[in-house]
Amino acid sequence: MKKNNLIKLLATILITVFFCGKAYSASKDLLKIDWSFAGITGKFERDSLQRGYQVYKEVCASCHSMQYLSYRNLSQKGGPEFTLEEAKAIAASYEVEDGPNSDGDMFTRPGRPSDHFVSPYPNVNAATAANGGAYPPDMSVLVKARPGGANYIYSVLMGYEEKPIGFILEDGVYYNKYMDGNKIKMPSPLSDDLIEYSDGTNASQLQMAKDVTAFLTWAAEPHLEARHRTGTKVIIYLILLATLVYFSMKRLWSRINTEE
Amino acid sequence: MSDHEYIPKSKAGKWFNDRLPLLSLGAHLSDYPTPKNLNYWWTFGGILTFCLITQIVTGIVLAMHYVAHADLAFESVEKIMRDVNYGWLIRYIHSNGASMFFLAVYIHIFRSLFYGSYKSPRELIWIIGTLIYILMMAAAFMGYVLPWGQMSFWGATVITNLFSAIPLVGESVVTWLWGGYSVDNPTLNRFFSLHYLIPFLILGLVVLHIWALHIPGNNNPVGIDIKKPSKDTVPFHPYITVKDIFALLMFMIIFSGFVFFSPNVLGHADNYIPANPLVTPAHIVPEWYLLPFYAILRSVPDKLGGVILMFGALFVLIILPWLDTSKVRSAVFRPIYRQFFWIFVVDVLALGYLGAAPAEGIYLFLARIATIYYFLHFIVILPALSFFEKTDPLPTSISEPVLTGGFSTAMAKSDNITNEKK
Cis peptide before B121 (omega within 30 of 0): yes
Q: Answer whether B378 touches A (CB < 8 Å).
A: no
Largest CA distance in chain A: 89
- Round to whole Å and give the CA distance between B21 and A247: 35
Give the A:B interface size as CB pairs under 8 Å: 135
Q: Per-residue pLDDT for A171 more than 70? A: yes
Predicted confidence at residue A16, as pLDDT, reads 56
Q: Per-residue pLDDT for A12 more than 80? A: no
B110 to chain A: nearest residue by CA? A9
Predicted confidence at residue A28, as pLDDT, reads 64
Domains identified in chain B and CATH numbers: 37-284 (1.20.810.10), 291-391 (no CATH)
Name the CATH code of domain A26-69+116-237 (choices 1.25.40.10, 3.30.450.20, 3.40.250.10, 1.10.760.10). Answer: 1.10.760.10
Q: Answer whether B181 touches A (CB < 8 Å).
A: no
CA distance B179 to chain A (A): 27
CB contact under 8 A, A252 and B238: yes
pLDDT-based confidence at residue A93 (cuts at 50, 70, 90): very high
CB contact under 8 A, B417 and A3: no
Q: What is the pLDDT along chain B (422 residues), one digit of tens a residue?
A: 444 578 999 999 999 999 999 999 999 999 999 999 999 999 999 999 999 999 999 999 999 999 999 999 999 999 999 999 999 999 999 999 999 999 999 999 999 999 999 999 999 999 999 999 999 999 999 999 999 999 999 999 999 999 999 999 999 999 999 999 999 999 999 999 999 999 999 999 999 999 999 999 999 999 999 988 888 999 999 999 999 999 999 999 999 999 999 999 999 999 999 999 999 998 899 999 999 999 999 999 999 999 999 999 999 999 999 999 999 999 999 999 999 999 999 999 999 999 999 988 999 999 999 999 999 999 999 999 999 999 999 998 887 654 444 444 444 444 443 433 33
What is the per-residue pLDDT across A110-145, written as a single tens digit (0 to 9) for each? 999 999 999 999 999 999 999 988 999 999 999 999
CB contact under 8 A, A9 and B107: yes
Sequence-ordered strand ranges (E) for B215-293: 233-235
> Which positions in chain A touch B39 (Cβ < 8 Å)?
2
Predicted confidence at residue B415, as pLDDT, reads 43
Q: Which of B75, B264, B415 is the closest to A2 by Cβ?
A: B415
Query: Which helix (DSSP H) or strand (DSSP E) does residue B55 occupy?
Result: helix B44-65
Mutation to test the A interface, candidates B44, B82, B150, B298, most A Cβ within 10 Å? B82
CA distance A194 to chain B (A): 30
Q: Which of A3, A245, A257 is the closest to B245 by Cβ?
A: A245
Residue B33 bridge partners (DSSP): B235
B420 to chain A: nearest residue by CA? A257
CB contact under 8 A, B418 and A257: yes
> Which positions in chain A touch B283 (Cβ < 8 Å)?
24
CA distance B355 to chain A (A): 9
CA distance B260 to chain A (A): 5
Mutation to test the A interface, candidates B231, B260, B362, most A Cβ within 10 Å? B260
- Round to whole Å and give the CA distance between A88 and A85: 5
Interface of B with A in 116-135 (CB under 8 A): none
Q: Answer whether B266 touches A (CB < 8 Å).
A: yes
Determine phi and psi for B267, rounding to 5 degrees.
Answer: -95, -170
Q: Answer whether B341 touches A (CB < 8 Å).
A: no
How far is C-alpha B367 from the geometric centre of its chain's CA atoms? 23
Delimit the domains of chain A by residue range.
26-69+116-237
- Round to whole Å and give the CA distance between B236 and B242: 9
Predicted confidence at residue B173, as pLDDT, reads 96
CB contact under 8 A, B260 and A246: no
Q: Which contacts of A82-89 are long-range, i.e. CB under 8 A and separated by 24 or more positions?
A: A82/A50, A82/A53, A84/A113, A87/A113, A88/A112, A88/A113
- Round to whole Å and give the CA distance between A82 and A77: 9
Task: State the DSSP string of A99-115.
Answer: ---TTS--EEEE--TTS
- Round to whole Å and give the CA distance between B411 and B422: 20
Q: Which of A149, A180, A253 is the closest to B417 by Cβ?
A: A253
Q: Answer whether B67 touches A (CB < 8 Å).
A: no
> Which positions in chain B touch A253 (Cβ < 8 Å)?
239, 243, 417-418
SS3 A176: strand
A4 to chain B: nearest residue by CA? B415
> Which positions in chain B touch A73 (Cβ < 8 Å)?
82
Nearest to B156 by CA among B70, B59, B57: B70
A23 to chain B: nearest residue by CA? B357
B55 class by beta-carbon count within 10 Å (0-12 exposed, 13-18 middle, 19+ buried) = buried
What is the average pLDDT across A157-182? 92
CA distance A200 to chain B (A): 31
Mean pLDDT estimate for chain A: 90
Q: Answer whether B348 touches A (CB < 8 Å).
A: no
Task: State the DSSP string of A7-60.
Answer: HHHHHHHHHHHHHHHHHHT--PPPP----TT-STT----HHHHHHHHHHHHHTG
Interface of B with A in 380-419 (CB under 8 A): 399, 410-411, 414-415, 417-419
SS3 A198: coil
- Round to whole Å and give the CA distance between A209 and A196: 14
Residue length of chain B: 422
Predicted confidence at residue A180, as pLDDT, reads 87
